[in-house]
Structure formats: C-alpha cells, structure tokens
Chain A
Amino acid sequence: MKSTMGRKGHRGAASAVLLVGGGAIAAAIWINGDHGVAVAVAVSYVILAALATIWSRGSGDLSAVLRAGGDERQRGLDRDSTAMMGIAMVLVAIIGGVVKTALDGDPGEYGIMCLVGGLAYGVSFAAFRRR
C-alpha cells in the first residue's frame, strides 16, 4: 500500500517540453522565412525553460507540477487543472466550429479539434473504466 508514486519527478520535465515545443515553433517560423523572429522565439523559450528548471527546485505545489511529480494531492491538482483546460478547449472548438460552419459552411480546423477531442475522450473513458 503506497500513498505516493514518483513524488520527486524530474526537474527537467517542464523545461524539456518548453525546449522541444519552442524549438519546433522557432523552426517553423525559420522555415517560413522570418529568421529574426525565429531566433527571438528560440531565445525566449530557452529563458522560459531555464526559469522552469529553477522554479521546479522549490517545494511548493507549482514546483511539483513543473517536475511532473508531487504527492497525491499535487497530482490531483494537476489532473483537475488539465481537465478544466480540456473543457475550455472543447468549448472553444465547438463554438468555433459552429461559427465557422455558419460563415463558411465548413467547421474547418475546429471540426478536426472536436473530432480529436471526442476520440481522445472515448478512448480514455474505455481505458479508465477498466479500473
């Protein structure tokens, strides 16, 4: 019987996400031809990643979430916040899809977001209900 799992987490977790995501965005801007902006975006993400690494060393709730670790309460905070983020994104996708369909007769990228969101929910629900 264990109350916590992987409480320490990885100090570089959030930084890695920022570096990979920021690097991808900077690369896309570079390919698009705006080299100055691409360098500025890359530098911004490197600074953010460094700040995240420093912040993740703390003992607070946010530090634990940045480490992708924490105890059961902190993991619950992260899970609940992620669920709220999902609800917000789904609302934007649905409203955006309705508005875009009314304007263009096609939900466009909002439709893809709704489809992916719905599929992700269905698969997650099927997997988690086995608990």
Chain B
Amino acid sequence: MKNRVRELRAKRHWSQQELASALDVSRQTINSIENGRYLPSLPLAFAIAHCFNSTVEDVFTTDEEEK
C-alpha cells in the first residue's frame, strides 16, 4: 500500500502537526502513515482524503495499482 499524504501535505505547505490537529490524531501517526509504517483505518483514510478535498483511491493506492 502506498499513499500520497506527504506529497499532498507539502503541496499545501502544511506541517505534520497541522494535519494531525485537523484529523485529531498525533503527529507521530501522520509520520507513520507517510512512511508507510501504519495503514490507517477506513474512517481515518476517508478523513485524510476529505482534508485534501480528494478521494481515498487518489490518496491511497495498492502496490498493484502502482504497476
């Protein structure tokens, strides 16, 4: 599973802490998601996508989709 959270966050010039506050999660959790160490739950994935005015499938992609 891959994601574009870091890329989308950087585009908006948001810090990890700002995104974490918007989602009501810890900064460490945002860092873990960006580095692919943690797969968020479906509700959190939707909340992340909503934050970026995007869709879940636009933010998160499977390894197969990458190919």
Contacts and interface: CB of A to CB of B under 8 A. Distances in A.
Nearest to A64: B26
Interface string A1-17: 11110010000000000
A3 B28 contact: no
Interface in A64-92: 64, 70-74
A108 interface: no
**Among the interface residues A2, A7, A61, A72, which one has the most CB atoms of the partner chain B within 10 A?**
A72
Give the bracket for the number of chain A residues in contact with chain B. 10 to 19
A116 to B, nearest CB: 32
B24 A4 contact: yes
B26 A3 contact: no
A61 B41 contact: no
Interface stretch (B7-15, B43-51, B58-66): B43-51
A60 B47 CA distance: 22
A59 interface: yes
A3 B27 contact: no
B28 A60 contact: yes
Given A60-B28, A73-B26, A3 B38 contact: no
B19 interface: no
Interface string B31-46: 0100000101101101
A7 B23 CA distance: 11
Contact of B27 (A2, A4, A59, A72): A59
